[in-house]
Structure 1
Amino acid sequence: MTTPSEQLDAALDALDAAFAPPPEAPFAVGGCTYCYTDSDLEALAGPTHLVPDGLVWSVSVEATDHWADFAALYHRMTPRIVRLLTTGQLHSGYGMIASRLLAAGWRNWAAAEQQALEHVWDAWWRSTLHEYLGNERATDVLETVAVSTGSLSPWLAVWGGTRTEAADHHFDDALDHWLAPPGLADLRLGFRDELHAGPELLDWLLSLEEGRIGAAQLFEIERLAYS
């Protein structure tokens, strides 16, 4: 039986395969020459596995108007961006990357590409809930997968049913994060606040079994839910 980490590795390899370009497929990159050199643009037009990690990160969070064809470039670089993100090599921009994927229209990509990305999100989420390393917050991962897919429900269902020590540590951290100012009731996720998460999170928290949440935090959650 494979571990969640091994399942993530396999899903990332499948993502690479789903996005593999046809042999000798040409690709031209136009972009802001104030922010990017000619050599940067040449690298982005070449084999994606040769693009330096730093340039991949820059593309992952760059404003869409910096590129002549943002959607095509982001589509092309998605496997590299997602691999760096899910393997802990990008430590910021979670909500931004989810928003950029929406801007790139990933839900209109080929079915095989969409399914491969969804499988990565599922494997990444489950892997996160089985590891607690202190350098990746479950709330960041949740923001990425929920904003990009447009729903919290399936990810919360997995969390609710995962009772590993790591998942419980992540849950405790998440409660502290969600209940800190400005508060949970109007919590919105995504760089452009695409997902209004507060009401759904409150309903989920109130549905958890007794004892999962401490008395003081539960009192605050109930106050927010019923006020």
Structure 2
Amino acid sequence: MSSYRHALLSALDALDSAFAAEPAFPVTGCTYCWADEHFAELSGPLAAISEETILGAAMEVSDHWSDFPRPYRRLTPLFVRRAVLGGEHGVPADVVACRLRQAGCLEWAPGLTDALWAVGVAWWRAVLHGEAGDACTEEVLSVLTVASGTVRPWLGIWAATRTPCADALLAQYIDHLPYSLSDLGDGWWDGPRHDPRREVAAWLLRDVRDRLGGLAPDVVRALNEVRCTF
């Protein structure tokens, strides 16, 4: 196992430990979508919750819970592990990121936010070193931007990762324009000055342009339009 994959798994284990103190409590919500046995399951030990229920809870909209932030916070380690690792029991990472923000994850206790941040950093480094399975770079960047409320740290890590794999992912990111920028951050930003699309376009033109070779004029024009428009 590579060091980056190992670091990611260790960060997920640390996330479990950080959230272990979150107490169980009676979970209630929409009785049309959820039966009593589901609420009982979600109110009990995390290890006893079925994969089907985990997926359903991860995808459920916030207004279908009586107290949405509290159960989502308690279940966060289950959701994040499956969002990051994917596989047979994976859950959509973009949905989890949005639900985390709706649950107020940026205002949680420092021990929880620090553990979440560590998972994000470990996941991003694994992606940039080609050790995160079939994770899509632009999708992971968008998920991390939503969950953290900022794109800058993730761009900084990418800029500092000067490896053939990271360079190849940069070239791929450019090849996928405008898709790479179109849904970045999914609207989670505070005004146009903090629009992640604008920041990424400026970063590509300024900070890592030397790693991209000769950019085609239409690409430069498109990036400049994004940088000046949003």
1:42 Cα offset (Å): 1.3
2:81 is equivalent to residue 87 of structure 1: no
- Pair 1:67–1:213, CA change in 2 (3 A): farther
| Counterpart residue identity of residue 8, structure 2 | L
Distance 2:86 2:118 in 1: 18
Tell me which residue corresponds to 1:146.
Answer: 145
TM-score by length of 2: 0.84
Tell me which residue corresponds to 1:7.
Answer: 7
Distance 1:65 1:98 in 2: 17
Distance 2:73 2:45 in 1: 14
Distance 2:71 2:144 in 1: 21
Question: Any idea what the Cα deviations from partners look like across 1:145-176, whole Å, max 9, x if unmatched?
Answer: 11111111110111122133332333233223
Residues matched between the structures, number: 218
1:34 Cα offset (Å): 1.8
2:34 is equivalent to residue 36 of structure 1: yes
- Contact 2:4–2:131 (8 Å) recurs in 1: no
- Contact 1:187–1:197 (8 Å) recurs in 2: no
1:213 Cα offset (Å): 4.5
SS of corresponding position for 1:178: coil
- Pair 1:168–1:88, CA change in 2 (3 A): farther
- Pair 1:91–1:175, CA change in 2 (3 A): farther
- Pair 1:52–1:203, CA change in 2 (3 A): same
Tell me which residue corresponds to 1:100.
Answer: 99
Question: Any idea what the Cα deviations from partners look like across 1:20-52, whole Å, max 9, x if unmatched?
Answer: 137xx4410102222222222111111112212
- Pair 1:178–1:13, CA change in 2 (3 A): same
Unmatched tracts of structure 1, length 5 or more = none
1:223 Cα offset (Å): 4.0
1:105 Cα offset (Å): 0.9
- Pair 1:85–1:187, CA change in 2 (3 A): closer
Q: Within 5 Å, which residues of 2 pair with 1:78-227?
A: 78-89=76-87, 93-131=92-130, 135-180=134-179, 184=181, 187-190=183-186, 193-195=187-189, 196-207=195-206, 208-216=208-216, 219-226=218-225
1:214 Cα offset (Å): 4.4
- Pair 1:213–1:148, CA change in 2 (3 A): farther
Distance 2:119 2:188 in 1: 21
| Counterpart residue identity of residue 35, structure 2 | T
Distance 1:154 1:5 in 2: 20
Unmatched tracts of structure 2, length 5 or more = 190-194
Question: Which structure is higher in helix share?
Answer: 2
Distance 1:135 1:117 in 2: 21
Tell me which residue corresponds to 1:66.
Answer: 64
Counting aligned pairs with the same residue, the percent is: 34
Distance 1:134 1:111 in 2: 30
- Contact 1:29–1:42 (8 Å) recurs in 2: yes
- Contact 2:58–2:79 (8 Å) recurs in 1: yes
